[in-house]
Amino acid sequence: MAIMNGKKALMNLIQNEGVEYVFGIPGATEILFMDALEGAADIRYILGLNEIVCAGMAEGYARASGKPGFLNLHTNTGTAASLAMICNAQSGGVPLVITAGQQHTKLLQRDPHLSGDIVGMGKLFTKWSTEIVHADDIPLSIQRAFKMAMQPPKYVSPEDLQKVFSVSKTLWWKSFFVLAYTARRCRGSPESSCWPHRVASSTFSGSTRSSDRTRSRGGGQR
């Protein structure tokens, strides 16, 4: 079995998921990711002015395409700066897959600059948030992220809405045909046992008998 490094595995995974664009602002922690992206001619990196813009572009792409938007952020500062738009995406059920660079695990005990609780920030407005420590966990984590992004509750894209409207229209016409057929059958046979006819008959007869009893009692008192 062929063995590949983490950056190559990540690139193959997002290509298999149909990623067309990566939105973000790279930094030093994303050097290896950007290096692997050079070899993926079918994926374009869209650079934004700041993290709010990047997250907004990823959300807009997801809304228009119906596919998860892929957002790449830089460490804890980039994650924190994008939280407003990630919250907006969560409120709208917009599918996003977000990666963020972290400092080397050998340095985390020394609290290096720009390190922080990225997983904790992600949990505020996401379905699932994790930190990959071993390269072997990349395939499982990326595939799970894309699968969970497309699970309900999820934003209804224009294509999905059109499908729902087509199905609803078909069901409406079927319901209209059934109602029209039932009404025609009831009108054609006054003594039929259809449910609307029985209800109307019993209600009318009952009200008539009540009025007769009222008139009889009134006549006896006079």
24 beta partners: 47, 72
Q: Give the C-alpha separation, 138 to 177, whole Å.
A: 54
Q: What are phi and psi of 23, to 5 degrees?
A: -105, 130
CATH of domain 6-155: 3.40.50.970
Helices (H) and strands (E) in the chain, counts: 9, 4
pLDDT of the chain, 222 residues: tens digit per residue: 577 888 899 999 999 999 999 999 998 888 889 999 998 999 999 999 999 999 999 999 999 998 999 999 998 888 999 999 999 999 999 999 999 987 767 766 676 666 678 888 888 899 999 988 888 899 999 999 999 999 887 766 666 656 655 554 455 444 555 555 555 555 555 554 444 444 433 333 344 444 444 444 455 444
Q: Specify the pLDDT at position 30.
A: 87
Structure confidence at residue 165 (pLDDT): 55
pLDDT of residue 187: 54
Q: What are phi and psi of 171, to 5 degrees?
A: -65, -35
Q: What one-character-per-residue DSSP string does 145-181 give?
A: HHHHHTSSS----HHHHHHHHHHHHHHHHHHHHHHHH
DSSP letter (8 states) at residue 18:
T
- Find tokens 């952020």 and name the residue: 73
The whole-number pLDDT of residue 1 equals 55
Residues of the chain with CATH 3.40.50.970: 6-155
Q: Is 83 exposed, middle or buried (0-12, 13-18, 19+ CB in 10 A)?
A: middle
